[in-house]
């Protein structure tokens, strides 16, 4: 059995990402867990083959918990990526109409993403914070009052809720990128990305430019650059980079080796196929 761990519970966008990564494999089982560290531990101990975690959102940027974990806490490799559109809907139990709703259950982040719809279509409705997008519809269905919830399509399906409105988010282009973590990355496919990070032992002018210049010298396209505090010295940062190409390709290998020589801390998170979903 090929087991994919993810940040649960079922019905969340994380489960959608896990299902998308599993594809049509009939021998795949899903393992929902309560936290990001739990997903990592499940892979490290063999309880799961792969773990799916959020790493980047179109609107909010990098998921810092996942990034810090990759930098400081695990040697697991990124073996894949999945991009999931964040489709939000309004659901309720059968018979409840939009005009009936007196209470709205929602995860705070989802509530913020659907602010315009709530202000315009549910003015004055009391809101109650839910722990997840899958908990919200279950809580709405259990409420004796006319209640609705902001939910994923998957959670609505699992709970049997009736959909009152679809695609209610302010930004319909919002997506989250997830990574698949494994004990090892995979061989080149011809259309890959490599993720790595680096830091410097001392603060000198031109150190960052010099490291990035090594990528330009090999005509390597950098698709992402962001930074996280080193957690060692105030003002010292770790830089996280995504590039096109696999670390085993000669030109990528050359560039990475020269970046390593210029930096005080260097870590490759993995090489993996680019998402084409």
Q: What are 237-277's pLDDT values in tens digits?
A: 999 999 999 999 999 999 999 999 999 899 999 999 999 87
The structure tokens listed for 219 are 């005509």
CA angle in degrees (0–180, nearest 5) for 246-42-268? 25
For 193-271, CATH number out of 3.30.70.260, 3.30.365.10, 3.30.2310.20, 3.30.420.40 equals 3.30.70.260
Percentage of the chain surpassing pLDDT 90? 84
Q: Determine the 3-state secondary structure of 147 from DSSP.
A: strand
pLDDT of 136 above 90: yes
Residue 149 burial class via C-beta count within 10 angstroms: exposed 0-12, middle 13-18, buried 19 and up: buried
pLDDT band at 28 (very low <50, low <70, confident <90, very high): confident
DSSP state, residue 25: -
At residue 54 the predicted structure's pLDDT band, cuts being 50, 70 and 90, is very high
**Cis, peptide link before residue 9, omega less than 30° from 0:** yes
Query: Averaged over 38-66, what is the pLDDT?
Result: 94
The fraction of the chain above a pLDDT of 70, given in percent, is 98
Closest CA to 153 of 164, 142, 140: 164
Element housing 256 (H / E): helix 250-262
**Fold equal for 2-86+174-182 and 88-166:** yes
Taking the CB of residue 237, how many other CB atoms lie within 10 A of it?
A: 15
Please tell me the predicted confidence (pLDDT) of residue 27.
Answer: 79
Segments making up each domain of the chain, as ranges = 2-86+174-182, 88-166, 193-271
- pLDDT for 276: 85
Please name the residues in contact with 194: beta carbons below 8 A apart, sequence gap of 6 or more. 242, 243, 245, 246, 247, 252, 256, 268, 270, 271, 272
What local confidence, expressed as pLDDT, does residue 24 receive? Answer: 61
Q: Which two tokens stand for residue 85?
A: 């559109």
Per-residue pLDDT, averaged over 113-129, amounts to 95
2-86+174-182 has which fold?
D-Maltodextrin-Binding Protein; domain 2 (3.40.190)
- What confidence tier does 81 reach under pLDDT thresholds 50, 70, 90? very high
Which whole number is the average pLDDT over 208-221? 94
Of the candidates 133, 127, 122, 118, the residue with the CA atom closest to the CA atom of residue 9: 133
Number of other residues whose CB lies within 10 A of the CB of residue 209: 9
Instruction: Report CA-CA distances (Å) from 9 to 107, 116, 119, 267, 271.
Output: 13, 27, 28, 31, 28
pLDDT of res. 235? 82
Give φ, ψ of 33 to 5 degrees.
Answer: -130, 165
Confidence of residue 205 (pLDDT cuts 50, 70, 90): confident
Q: Domain 88-166: what homologous superfamily?
A: Periplasmic binding protein-like II (3.40.190.10)
Q: What is the pLDDT of residue 2?
A: 87
pLDDT tens digit string along 124-135?
Answer: 999 999 988 889
């Amino acid at each position: 059995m090929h087991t994919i761990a993810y940040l649960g519970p079922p019905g969340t966008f994380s489960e959608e990402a896990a299902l998308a990564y599993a594809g049509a494999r009939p021998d795949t089982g899903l393992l929902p867990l309560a936290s990001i560290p739990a997903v990592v531990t499940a892979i490290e101990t063999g309880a799961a083959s792969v773990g799916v975690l959020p790493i980047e959102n179109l609107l909010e940027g990098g998921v810092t918990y996942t990034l810090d974990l990759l930098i400081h806490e695990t040697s697991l490799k990124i073996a894949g990526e999945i991009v999931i559109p964040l489709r939000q809907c309004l659901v309720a139990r059968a018979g409840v109409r939009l005009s009936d709703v007196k209470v709205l259950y929602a995860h705070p982040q989802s509530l913020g993403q659907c602010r315009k719809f709530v202000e315009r279509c549910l003015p004055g409705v009391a809101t109650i914070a839910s722990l997840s997008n899958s908990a919200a519809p279950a809580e709405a269905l259990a409420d004796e009052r006319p209640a609705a919830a902001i939910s994923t399509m998957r959670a609505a399906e699992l709970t049997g809720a009736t959909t009152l409105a679809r695609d209610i988010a302010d930004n319909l282009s919002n997506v989250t990128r997830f990574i698949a973590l494994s004990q090892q990355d995979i061989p080149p496919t011809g259309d890959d990305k490599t993720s790595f990070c680096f830091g410097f032992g001392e603060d000198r002018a031109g150190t960052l430019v010099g490291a990035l210049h090594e990528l330009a010298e090999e005509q390597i396209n950098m698709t992402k650059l962001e930074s996280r505090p080193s957690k060692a010295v105030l003002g010292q940062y770790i830089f996280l980079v995504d590039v096109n190409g696999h670390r085993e390709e000669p030109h990528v290998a050359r560039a990475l080796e020269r970046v390593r020589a210029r930096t005080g801390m260097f870590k490759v998170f993995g090489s993996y196929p680019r998402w084409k979903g």
